[in-house]
Each structure stands twice: as structure tokens, then as C-alpha cells.
Chain A
Amino acid sequence: MSDKKLSLEEVDHVAMLARLGLEPDEREMMREQLSSILDHISLLQSVDTSAIPPTAQVITLQNQMRADDVHDSLSLDEVMKNAPDSEDGMFKVRAVLE
């Protein structure tokens, strides 16, 4: 539909959000590929939806709720089973400071 390509800044922004570090040639490649994906998806824009109310869900389920009661949690062994590193029963990760 549209031949408008993503800007390199937009590519960088998306890469940052996805925590991806791109090499310079990858930036250009991603720009091409992402743009063509967006072009493809934008085909949907050609559908006439004027008579269709907007929705956030395509299934008809609603009000799926449970009572407020407590069940057992996992054991600490199970919780830590796949953790690369832990200390005092907590997951150990690189320093995070905002």
C-alpha cells in the first residue's frame, strides 16, 4: 500500500525497546524488512470497517473471574530450579539502578 520506509531512528527506537544491539548493516536490513512487514500488514487498512464497532477481543468470553482464595505456592527449590544464580532465596541479577 505505502512505500514509505521506516526511518533509521525508528529502527533504532524499536531495537532499543527490544534490547537489541544492531550493527550498522543490520540497521539497514531491519529497516527494509520491517518496512515490508508493515506494508504487508497495512493491507488491512483497505478493508471497509465503517459498519463494524471497534473491539479489543475477538472471542465472546467475558467476566472470567475467580474467587479470592489462596492455594499453595511453589516450593523454593522448584522456584529456583532454572535460576542461573541465586542468593538467600532470591534471584541474583546484574545491578539495576534507575
Chain B
Amino acid sequence: MQFETIIGLEVHAQLLTESKMFCRCSAGYASADPNTHVCPVCLGLPGALPVINHGAVQATIMTGLALTCSIPEYSKFDRKNYIYPDLMKGYQISQYDLPLCGGGVLPLVIDGKRKDIGITRVHLEEDTARLVHRTANGETYSLVDVNRSGVPLMEIVSEPDMRSPEEARAYLMALRQILRYIGVSTANMEEGAFRCDANVSQRTLDGSVIGPKVEIKNMNSFRSVERALAFEVERQRKALRDGEALVQETRGWVEDQGITVSQRTKEFAHDYRYFPEPDLPPLVLDRAEVDGIQSRMAELPTARRDRFIEQYGLNEREAELLTVEREVADFFEVTVDGDSDRAREASNWITGEIFALMRDSGLELEDVKISPEQIRELIELVGEDTINNRTAKEVLVAVHETGKSPREIVEERGLAQVSDEAQLLAVVRSVVDEHPDAVTDYQNGKKAAIGFLIGQVMRQMRGTANPGVARSLLEQTLAERVTS
């Protein structure tokens, strides 16, 4: 049997608002002591009334616009009822049938080919409290920290358009990139600001067998999503081939064992008994507001990549590298500072030396102590022949280590390039005298030997020799030696 994998993803992303979804407690709970960002509303105390955070609504609409979703005029909140200790009110305020954003699309590029993944909807809800499980004196119990309760949470539901774990991963990466670009979420998966549940099923290519849909939870990194889905695809295919019964269920990914296990607790499905939230009047969106959000939205990664190619003459690979993170793209454009002639050099410096520095030191761009202005200064120093490229790379590292400007470092360390012919000629002559073998090689037609000799000149000059001048002086000297 030839199977095809069907994957749909549900992503929950915490929004980067100042305050919570329905109260004015701070939404920044990461480093807060337990239960210090709570009030009667997020504690779910009787009689406390929620009020909608306008900023969270705007961030959700911006996300919808970034995913080319329809933005309906009318939207409302609903109660999703279930009893669990992480849910203070006994219900979660969410959106059921009238979400803020309707259908849209997220275009991916997979193996060089464009593939559109449909977006079903984007809606807004509130996060739940955090549970801590402990055992002491043989007693197992749970502790509740309500800080996270009520943090704005956006749910982005995809169509079942993905056909492999790799596509699912590509979708998540692209979605995360967009959320970070438009600044609505940190989309940090390890910190729980970006969570993913997956629906996976199998069907035969001729449609004769359609396996049940299995929901996978507990995947805490992009890698674990891909691994969990790959495991699940194999598990389902094997069961279908062997004629075993597959059931529609929820399964949890167990990272250290690399398997999914059934999480089915009871036979009954969840019965959420959604109904319109009586404490929150509906939203009727003003077209002008939606247009305003659209106009404030940052340029999206694909558009920016295309513009980099067009405007700065970069190739596709460079443009891609420079636009993966918005911070890098911003850094590049500040470096270029409107002068397209500088773009080539700026791109080389950033994708070459800066990326290497980040890779070697494990730092993010924001932690690299080199500013776009300093890169510009380096490009100028090379352009005006004050230093050569090789020295410039050393200067770059020194800038990062000392925080001093490139010019300061060049001056302090005497790194300015020497173009003075008299000074260089003395060095060239001594190198030629010291390496008769290389001279003979050169004169016997091995022109590559001049590279070695230039290297020796550089060595004596501690890298400060102007390579162009050094080369022509060498050629001149070697020619003189032949005739003499």
C-alpha cells in the first residue's frame, strides 16, 4: 500500500503585550516570583469582570494580515468550559465560531518549489496557569502558579496541507519567522511562547484507506516536532499495513524515548459546551483600524528578501541569509545606509565575518559588540586603502573584544597599511634575497611562486603591506633580477 501523510498544525503563540488579555496584570511572568502578577480577574474570583486588551486584538489582526487572512467585521469571544486546576474560572475565554481572522495562506519554499499552506483561522484566547508537580514524604501533590493565567495567547490553525514532517517543520519555521518579524511574539519554543500540536493521519493514494486522525502533543522544539511526526507516520503506516486497529486519539511525544504514547484518559471526548462570553460585548472592527494596522506592519521576510535582491543587487543566497532574522536584515540596511554601492561589502562582512563570529562564540547578533556604523567604518578604511582586507578582519575581532572603534584600533596598533614604495621595496628586496628557491621557481615559469613571496612580505610587515603595491614591486624586482 502506498500511503500519503496528512498533517495539520495548531500553533499557540503568546503575544508580546505589556498586560494580560483581560486584566492589567503584567504579562511578563518569565522571571517573576509565583503569583505576583495576579489579580481578581486572572485568579477567576467571583464577580471579577474581564476587559479586552486592545493591544492583543491588534497584534492578532496584524498576524492575520501577515498571513493574508480575511478579517471579518464581526468577532466575539466564547467560553470553553472544562474543569482543570490550571484554569482558574472553570472555563477559558476563547473564540469559537467568529474568530478575529479567517482563512489565509502561508507560502513556503520547499526544495526550491513554492508550496502554499492554507491557514484556517487565527483566534485569540487566554493562557492557563502553570502547574508544578511535587512529591514529598510519599505524598504527591501539585502547585499552581497563576502568573501565566490570562497571558494573551493566539492560536493559528493550519489546513491539513502538509505531507511530511519536513514540511511541518518548514511551516513552523516560516510562521515563527513572520511572528518575530512583525514583533507580535518572541515565538520562542523552548520558553513556551510558541507551542505546537499536530494532527497526523494516513491515506492511500487512491483514497481507498483513510486512517484516523491522531493528535500529537508535548513537542517542545522544532526538532522534536519533526522527530515525533516521523515516528508517528511510521507507527500509523505499520499498523495499517499489519491490519491493526488505529484509533482517533491524543498521543504525547516522549522526548527521551523517542516515541508517542496514548494520552486517552476517558472514553468520552471533551465536551467544552462553548457559548458566547456574556461578560464581553462583541467586536465590530472598523475598516480604518484594520488598514492602520496593515500600514504599521513591518515588511515581511519574503518581501524583504526580494527587495534586497532588487535594490542591492544581492544574489538569492545572500538575500536569504540576510533576511532569516529581522535583526540581521535591519543591521544590514543600517550598515548600507542608503548607499547601494556599499551593499556588496556590507553583505560580505555580515554573512562572512559577523556570522562566523556569532557561530564561533555562540552569540546572537544583539550580543555582538559591533555596530553597523563600525562595519561601515571598516568598509571605508579598506576602501581608502588605510588597511587591507586581512587586517580588517583582525580589526573586526578587536572591535568586538574591546568595544573601540575600527579607526582607534588601527591607530593604536599601528595597523595602517603601508603603501610607501621605498619602505616596501626594502622589505621586498630582503625577501627576494632570503628565498632564492622561490625566485628560481618563478623565473622557471612557476608564476604561483609570487604568492609565497607576497606572503613573506606580509609576514615581515605584520600584515600591513598594501598587497597591490607589494605585488607590483615584487614583479619589478624579480624582472630586474632576470635581466641582471
Contact = CB atoms under 8 A, between A and B. Distances in A.
Interface of A: 13, 16-17, 19, 56-57, 59, 61-71, 73-74, 76, 79-80, 87-98
B263 interface: yes
Given A17-B273, A91-B144, A71 B281 contact: no
A93 B54 contact: no
A95 B141 contact: yes
A88 B282 contact: no
Contact of B53 (A68, A92, A95, A98): A68
B51 A64 contact: yes
A61 B35 contact: no
Contact of A70 (B26, B43, B145): B26
Interface in B20-69: 24-26, 33-40, 43, 51-57
Contacts of A62: 281-284
A98 B271 contact: no
Interface of B: 17-19, 24-26, 33-40, 43, 51-57, 76, 81, 83-86, 131-134, 140-146, 263, 265, 268, 271, 273, 276, 278, 280-284
Given A87-B134, A91-B144, A98-B265, 13 more contacts: A57-B278, A62-B283, A68-B55, A74-B38, A74-B39, A87-B143, A89-B145, A90-B132, A90-B143, A95-B141, A96-B85, A96-B142, A98-B263
A64 B281 contact: yes
Contacts of B268: 13, 16
Contacts of A74: 38-40, 43
Contact of A73 (B34, B36, B54, B76): B36
A90 B34 contact: yes
Given A56-B76, A64-B281, A71-B24, A93 B143 contact: yes
Given A61-B281, A73-B36, A68 B54 contact: yes
27 contacts: A17-B273, A57-B278, A63-B281, A64-B280, A66-B54, A68-B18, A69-B19, A70-B18, A70-B19, A73-B38, A74-B39, A74-B40, A74-B43, A79-B38, A79-B43, A80-B35, A88-B143, A89-B33, A89-B34, A90-B145, A92-B142, A93-B85, A93-B141, A94-B141, A96-B131, A96-B133, A98-B265
